[in-house]
């Protein structure tokens, strides 16, 4: 399993490096804005963190990674080849999903830590909602995961239009849920169900589609 | 069994994915329509305000003063532009509710007192935390800042949290009342007068917390038999970005000889000499969960009586039931008292409907009796007509249209946007539309604007909230309202039935999918298509229809695959 995950990361190293660079860049931005700006700019910091990371997820990360993983598999028959080895399709799928989870973690962990550190320093002096970081970043993480799963779902197709255009359109629609509902617990539950549902659907499709 | 479980899992998973994505896409369609409708109303209507003039709360000797040229009035308005529509989105509400004055922070009372004062409730200790910066002018013209931190409980005020202070359990936040001042000294007096009052739901009594005197005054315990559940104290309002209510005092004409001295007034009129106070004088207004407004004596903390109620705004289908605070998108209460005696005169109450299209204004006298009620409306549009001498002239319609209808039909281009919105609502599927009908009243008004599945601000939702008609009439007219959704679902279900026959789905599976499509309409149909990719079909040798290659028997005629007859070969291998 570990080898499979490692292989997935190696195959899509560009995405991981991109996530890491962006993560460091956003963390720097948050630190500069938070610790260097006016002390009252809490909302600005949170909004900046939300907007920027959100945009990053939307534009570069999750959707492309998911689509690329599945589309390459479908067209280059990677899982067909791997199945000749003592590896099951379930393991291949699990390794793929774990690598996606890790990519998102790479992107969001550092900015989330920076925001929480900043808020904890000013929380002593001002009443600040204590679950800001958890709620906002868990919602962003789940949106990112949802978009990644949409990429997986649309990517498992032999045509080129469905994986590229389809996943992009659906990702944009999914992304707007955070605007519609706000990043609260309700949104997290909806997104969690979406992630589970899209993973279940893709898993069944991936497992039952013959190697043709 | 395992196969069936997987099939069910895939079907439910695909259905949820489709339902969510389709609902989000439909949301933006409806949002665009709403933005267009309300935006047009803001741009093109003559105005979307309601005025009650004379207000009816002033004593006759003031209102009928011969010098008064403009009577006192209550003015309400709705903010209708597209930017304001965007603030109804969940992301704005999320941050608003988590700011220091928001619902999640329990900051009771916040005001600027030549520095900053913050008050918030600490759930763990059950104490109200007070922090203030007092600014003093020293003798050598310097400013001295002193930071004060205090803790208050039902038992008193202290510099440190102590057991003797007791604890609050579920205090109701007091909102800052508007402060009227005409000089710096007056402002200071007004701020000093502003003492937080809270009500604890468990302790069932009011508390006045004076941090300057470090004293807590307890009100009498309210009898448990009285159904009294306050939700707001002080300035009673909700959705302040979406609407507003103003009290205007009577005005007199500025005399020609006084104009030089009255440079501050840019019109020909100025307020009369008597001064008014928009907080309720000796009382603090309290809003109850049922939408009733009470007055509580600021000194004794006893309930002085009922002062009014939230009026029911009309929707597209007429008036709804008496609203609770959660049923309104916005409301504002403006009590009026005479200064300096502080005699309470009455209040104006404005309530904005769930969909944000109509505002009702009601005026109550000091006894709490309704004096007058009014609605926001549109005065009409320019239309072309002919004068008696045959020349073309433009006139304005004089008929005032109630704004809940005008927003949908009354403006150029709005019928098209209304029809589009209606059709988008119908794409939600009959089951969700019927569920919306039954739950239209259960959700908080602003949450209806960010609803994905149960669209409570839809036409079917408005129908569900309609009051004054029998349930059967309401239900059947509601069904008629969602007829496009029902017809579409029937057509799609018929298509699924036909397709299922071709694909050879089992009877049970076919019935399940037909039921799913009948309930969820388009979302059900797309899910069906996602779960059933194109099957390989060949002609059946028995019935001539298409049959599946992966099944033992033809799903139409039940015949098996025809096996060519095996004949013994004529040759044999023998031992020589």
Q: What angle do CA B40, B22, B329 make, to 5 degrees?
A: 45
Task: Using the Cα atoms of residue A177, residue A181, residue A185 and residue A189 in order, give the sign of their dihedral.
Answer: negative
* Tally of domains within chain B: 3
pLDDT at B395: 46
C-alpha distance from B13 to closest chain A C-alpha (Å): 4
Least confident of B15-19, B223-227, B256-260, B359-363: B256-260
Asked whether residue B226 is domain-assigned, the answer is yes
Ranges A103-107, A154-158, B260-264, most confident = A103-107
pLDDT at B112: 41
Stretch B126-151: mean pLDDT: 79
Name the residue with tokens 């079917």: B460
Confidence band for B561, pLDDT divided at 50, 70 and 90: confident
Q: What is the pLDDT of residues B461-496, one digit of tens each?
A: 999 988 888 889 999 999 999 999 999 999 999 999
Query: Which residue segment(s) compose the domain that B135 sits in?
Result: 89-234
> Hey, are the CB atoms on A180 and B27 less than 8 Å from each other?
yes
Percent of chain B with pLDDT over 70: 83
What distance in Å separates the CA atoms of residue A100 and residue A94, rounded to the nearest whole number?
10
Q: B560 phi and psi, to 5 degrees?
A: -85, 175
**Cα-Cα end-to-end distance for chain A:** 25
Asked whether residue B171 is domain-assigned, the answer is yes
What distance in Å separates the CA atoms of residue B285 and residue B278, rounded to the nearest whole number?
11
Confidence band for B262, pLDDT divided at 50, 70 and 90: low
Task: Using the predicted structure, report yes or no on whether residue B54 has a pLDDT greater than 80.
Answer: yes
> Hey, are the CB atoms on B452 and A187 less than 8 Å from each other?
no
Tell whether B86 is within 8 A of chain A (Cβ): no
From chain B, the residues in CB contact with A127 under 8 A are 100, 105, 107, 118, 120
B296 closest CA partner among B310, B280, B308:
B280
Is residue B518 located within the same domain as residue B416? yes
Residue of chain B with shortest Cα separation from A185: B94
Task: Using the predicted structure, report yes or no on whether residue B123 has a pLDDT greater than 60.
Answer: yes
Least confident of A23-32, B47-56, B399-408, B450-459: B399-408
Stretch B20-47: mean pLDDT: 83
Asked whether residue B192 is domain-assigned, the answer is yes
Q: What is the pLDDT of residues A40-74, one digit of tens each?
A: 556 566 656 666 666 666 566 677 777 777 777 77
Name the residue with tokens 């994905």: B452
> Hey, are the CB atoms on A127 and B450 less than 8 Å from each other?
no
SS (H, E, C) B502-565: HHCCCHHHHHHHHHHHHHHCHHHHHHHHHHCCCCCEEECCCCCCEEECCCCECCCCCCECCCCC
Tell whether A205 is within 8 A of chain B (Cβ): yes
The per-residue pLDDT of chain B, averaged, comes to 81
Q: How many CA atoms lie within 13 A of B468 on its CB side?
A: 9
Is residue B353 located within the same domain as residue B366? yes
Q: In 3-state terms, what secondary structure has residue B128? A: strand
Task: Using the predicted structure, report yes or no on whether residue A86 has a pLDDT greater than 80.
Answer: no
What distance in Å separates the CA atoms of residue A135 and residue A116, rounded to the nearest whole number?
11
Is residue B35 located within the same domain as residue B107? no
* Residue B371 or residue B85, greater confidence: B371
Is residue B251 located within the same domain as residue B339? yes
> Hey, are the CB atoms on A182 and B94 less than 8 Å from each other?
yes
Q: B198 phi and psi, to 5 degrees?
A: -130, 165
Tell whether A89 is within 8 A of chain B (Cβ): no
Asked whether residue B263 is domain-assigned, the answer is no
Confidence band for B113, pLDDT divided at 50, 70 and 90: very low
> Cis peptide leading into B54, omega within 30 of 0?
yes
Is residue B159 located within the same domain as residue B218? yes
A152 closest CA partner among A94, A75, A67:
A67
Task: Using the predicted structure, report yes or no on whether residue B337 has a pLDDT greater than 90.
Answer: no
Is residue B322 located within the same domain as residue B386? yes
Asked whether residue B203 is domain-assigned, the answer is yes
> Hey, are the CB atoms on A184 and B99 less than 8 Å from each other?
no
Is residue B101 located within the same domain as residue B16? no
Q: In 3-state terms, what secondary structure has residue A12? A: coil
Stretch A114-141: mean pLDDT: 80
Q: In 3-state terms, what secondary structure has residue B108? A: coil
Last residue of a domain, one of B378, B401, B424: B401
Is residue B314 located within the same domain as residue B390? yes
| B24: its two tokens | 């989000």
Confidence band for B115, pLDDT divided at 50, 70 and 90: very low
Tell whether A139 is within 8 A of chain B (Cβ): no
B515-554 residues touching A, CB cutoff 8 A = 530
Is residue B488 located within the same domain as residue B389? no
Stretch A26-40: mean pLDDT: 68
Confidence band for B396, pLDDT divided at 50, 70 and 90: very low
Q: Is B120 within 8 Å of B106 (Cβ atoms)?
A: yes
Is residue B396 located within the same domain as residue B440? no
pLDDT at B264: 54
Is residue B479 located within the same domain as residue B373? no
B12 closest CA partner among A169, A143, A204:
A204
Least confident of B162-176, B252-266, B509-523, B537-551: B252-266
Q: Is B280 within 8 Å of B344 (Cβ atoms)?
A: yes
Q: What is the pLDDT of residues A179-189, one digit of tens each?
A: 899 888 889 99
Asked whether residue B419 is domain-assigned, the answer is yes
Q: What is the ipTM of this complex?
A: 0.85
C-alpha distance from B261 to closest chain A C-alpha (Å): 43
Last residue of a domain, one of B348, B366, B401: B401
The conformation of residue A61, written as its DSSP 8-state character, comes to S
Least confident of A44-58, B156-170, B211-225, B401-415: A44-58
Asked whether residue B96 is domain-assigned, the answer is yes
Q: Is B128 within 8 Å of B197 (Cβ atoms)?
A: no
What distance in Å separates the CA atoms of residue B64 and residue B90, rounded to the nearest whole number?
48
What distance in Å separates the CA atoms of residue B281 and residue B304, rounded to the nearest whole number?
13
Residue of chain B with shortest Cα separation from A209: B533
pLDDT at B184: 56
> Hey, are the CB atoms on B104 and A129 less than 8 Å from each other?
yes
B381 closest CA partner among B40, B53, B52:
B40
Is residue B475 located within the same domain as residue B373? no
From the CB of residue B19, how many other CB atoms can be counted at a distance below 10 Å?
23
What distance in Å separates the CA atoms of residue A18 and residue B444, rounded to the nearest whole number?
42
């Amino acid at each position: 399993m570990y080898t499979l995950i490692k292989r997935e990361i190696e195959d899509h190293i560009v995405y991981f490096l991109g996530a890491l660079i962006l993560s460091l860049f956003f963390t720097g931005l948050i630190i500069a804005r938070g610790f260097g700006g006016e002390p009252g700019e809490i909302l600005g910091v949170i909004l900046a963190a939300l907007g920027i990371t959100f945009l990053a997820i939307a534009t570069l990360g999750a959707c492309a990674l998911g689509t690329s993983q599945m589309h390459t598999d479908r067209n280059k028959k990677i899982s067909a080849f791997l199945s000749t080895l003592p590896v099951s399709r379930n393991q291949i799928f699990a390794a793929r999903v774990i690598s996606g989870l890790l990519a998102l973690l790479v992107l969001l962990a550092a900015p989330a830590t920076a925001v929480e550190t900043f808020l904890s320093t000013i929380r002593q002096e001002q009443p600040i909602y204590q679950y800001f970081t958890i709620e906002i970043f868990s919602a962003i993480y789940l949106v990112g995961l949802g978009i990644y799963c949409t990429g997986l779902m649309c990517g498992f197709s032999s045509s080129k239009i469905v994986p590229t255009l389809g996943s992009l359109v659906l990702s944009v629609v999914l992304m707007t849920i955070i605007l519609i509902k706000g990043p609260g617990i309700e949104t997290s539950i909806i997104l969690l169900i979406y992630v589970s549902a899209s993973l279940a659907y893709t898993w069944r499709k991936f497992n039952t589609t013959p190697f043709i | 069994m395992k196969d069936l479980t997987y099939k069910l899992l895939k079907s439910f998973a695909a259905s949820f994915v489709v339902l969510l994505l389709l609902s989000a896409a439909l949301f933006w369609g409806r949002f665009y329509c709403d933005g267009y409708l309300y935006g047009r109303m803001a741009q093109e209507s003559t105005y979307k305000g309601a005025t009650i003039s004379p207000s009816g709360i002033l004593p006759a000797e003031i209102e009928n003063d011969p010098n008064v040229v403009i009577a006192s009035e209550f003015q309400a308005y709705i903010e209708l532009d597209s930017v304001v529509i965007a603030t109804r989105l969940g992301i704005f509400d999320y941050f608003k509710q988590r700011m220091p004055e928001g619902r999640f922070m329990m900051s009771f009372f916040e005001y600027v007192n030549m520095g900053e004062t913050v008050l918030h409730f600490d759930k763990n200790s059950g104490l109200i935390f007070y922090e203030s910066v007092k600014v003093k002018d020293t003798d050598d013209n310097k400013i001295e800042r002193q930071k004060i931190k205090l803790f208050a409980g039902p038992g008193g005020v202290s510099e440190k949290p102590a057991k003797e202070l007791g604890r609050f359990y579920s205090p109701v936040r007091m909102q800052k009342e508007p402060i009227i001042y005409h000089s710096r000294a007056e402002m200071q007096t007004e701020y000093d007068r502003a003492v937080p009052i809270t009500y604890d739901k468990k302790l069932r009594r009011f508390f006045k917390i004076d941090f300057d005197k470090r004293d807590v005054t307890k009100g009498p315990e309210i009898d448990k038999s009285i159904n009294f559940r306050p939700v707001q104290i002080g300035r009673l309002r909700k959705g302040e970005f979406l609407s507003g209510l103003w009290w205007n005092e009577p005005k007199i004409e500025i005399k020609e000889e006084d104009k030089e001295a009255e440079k501050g007034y840019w019109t020909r009129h100025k307020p009369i000499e008597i001064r008014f106070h928009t907080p309720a004088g000796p009382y603090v207004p309290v809003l109850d969960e049922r939408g009733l407004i009470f007055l509580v004596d600021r000194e004794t903390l006893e309930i002085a009586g009922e002062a009014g109620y939230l009026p029911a705004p009309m929707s597209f289908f007429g008036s709804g039931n008496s609203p609770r605070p959660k049923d309104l998108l916005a409301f504002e209460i403006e009590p009026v008292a005479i200064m300096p005696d502080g005699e309470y005169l009455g209040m104006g109450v404005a309530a904005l409907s769930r969909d944000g299209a109509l505002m009702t204004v009601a005026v109550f006298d000091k006894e709490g009796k309704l004096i007058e009620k009014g609605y926001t409306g549109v005065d009409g549009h320019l239309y072309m007509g002919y004068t008696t001498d045959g020349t073309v002239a433009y006139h304005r319609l004089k008929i005032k249209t109630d704004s809940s209808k005008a927003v949908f039909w009354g403006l150029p281009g709005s019928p098209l946007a209304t029809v589009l919105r209606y059709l988008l609502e119908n794409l939600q599927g009959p089951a969700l539309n019927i569920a919306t009908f039954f739950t239209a009243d259960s959700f908080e008004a602003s949450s209806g604007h960010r609803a994905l599945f149960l669209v409570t601000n839809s036409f079917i939702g408005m129908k569900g909230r309609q009051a004054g008609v029998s349930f059967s009439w309401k239900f059947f007219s509601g069904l008629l309202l969602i007829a496009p959704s029902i017809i579409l679902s029937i057509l799609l279900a018929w298509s699924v039935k036909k397709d299922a026959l071709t694909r050879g789905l089992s009877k049970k599976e076919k019935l399940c999918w037909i039921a799913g499509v009948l309930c969820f309409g388009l979302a059900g149909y797309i899910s069906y298509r996602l779960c059933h990719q194109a099957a390989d079909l060949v002609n059946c040798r028995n019935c001539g229809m298409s049959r599946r290659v992966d099944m033992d028997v033809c799903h139409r005629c039940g015949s098996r695959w025809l096996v060519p007859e095996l004949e013994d070969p004529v040759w044999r291998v023998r031992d020589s």
